Structure 1
């Protein structure tokens, strides 16, 4: 598994958390605007991550699984703590 895949997963997760937080606690956005902002954040973050050549390296399967598990747990914890 390459580091870029892990970073893309992290970008996806935290973009969803950020947009949902803004939608619930800051400004009630229409669903279309919500999706457009989410897509823009995800695509922008992934394009930015592609610029770093160090992310083309491989990581072990165990490390990838641990990081992915932490990201998923962070999503669940954020949704419960922030009441999203």
Structure 2
């Protein structure tokens, strides 16, 4: 697995959390607007990540498992703490 794939996964996860936080805590958005913002945020972030050639290096399975576990745990904590 490449580091770029790991970063793209993190972008996907935290984009959903950010948009959900804005939708619940700050401004109640229409579902269409929410989805459009989510797609734009994910697409823009992934395009930025593709510009970094240093992210093409491989990542070990242990590092990949660790980062994915931390992302999943942090998502559950954020949803629990902010009651999203």
- TM tier, smaller: over 0.9
**Runs of 5+ in structure 1 lacking a partner?**
none
RMSD over aligned Cα atoms: 0.5
Q: Determine the C-alpha separation between the residues in 1 that align with 2:70 and 2:22.
A: 23
Post-superposition shift, 1:8?
0.3
Q: Answer yes or no: is 1:69 the counterpart of 2:69.
A: yes
Q: Determine the C-alpha separation between the residues in 2 that align with 1:49 and 1:82.
A: 28
Q: Determine the C-alpha separation between the residues in 1 that align with 2:9 and 2:81.
A: 21
Residue 49 of structure 2 corresponds to 49
Q: Scaled by the length of structure 1, what TM-score is found?
A: 0.98
Secondary structure in 2 aligned to 1:83?
A: coil
Q: Determine the C-alpha separation between the residues in 2 that align with 1:57 and 1:41.
A: 24
**Runs of 5+ in structure 2 lacking a partner?**
none
Q: Answer yes or no: is 1:10 the counterpart of 2:10.
A: yes
Provide, for residues 25-66 of structure 1, a one-character-per-residue CA deviation record: whole Å limited to 9, x for no partner: 110000010000000000000000000001000010110011
Moved over 3 A (4+): none
Q: Determine the C-alpha separation between the residues in 2 that align with 1:2 and 1:36.
A: 28
